[in-house]
Amino acid sequence: MKEIGERLQWVREALGLSQIEISKIVDVHQTTWSLYEKGLRLPDQFQIPRIAGKLKISVSYLLGEGLDGVERDLAIRLAAQHPQLVDKKNTPENKDKPQP
C-alpha cells in the first residue's frame, strides 16, 4: 500500500505540482490525495486506471514495476530522481550482454 502512495508522490513531485493542484487534475479531494501519498488509503480498482490515464503513467508503474508505459518526459524526470526505477537490463550498455 505504501509503495503506491510513494510512487504517486514521486509523480507529483516530478511534475512540480502541489497536492492541491494534482488532486484537481485527477478529480479527488486534496485530503484523499494526501492519504494516498501517506499509504493510509488506496485508490479503488476504478480510480487506479483513471489516475494513471490522467497522469500519463501506467498501472504497472503504480503497482511497483518499472517505467514502461510512463509518458517519456515524465519517465526521464522520475528516473533522474529515482534511479532504482530504471530497468538495468534495458540500458544501452547492458542491452547486448547475456542476462543470467
pLDDT tier at 37, thresholds 50, 70, 90: very high
Q: At CA 3, angle to CA 82 and CA 7, rounded to 5? A: 45
Q: In the prediction, which pLDDT does 2 show?
A: 78
Cα dihedral: 71, 75, 77, 82 (round 10):
150
Alpha-carbon distance values, 63 to 32, 33, 73, 98, 99 (Å): 19, 17, 20, 27, 24
Q: Which residue has the higher pLDDT, 13 or 66?
A: 13
In tens, the pLDDT along 39-97 reads: 999 999 999 999 999 999 999 999 999 899 999 999 999 999 999 888 755 544 444 44
pLDDT of residue 42: 95
Structure confidence at residue 99 (pLDDT): 47
pTM: 0.83
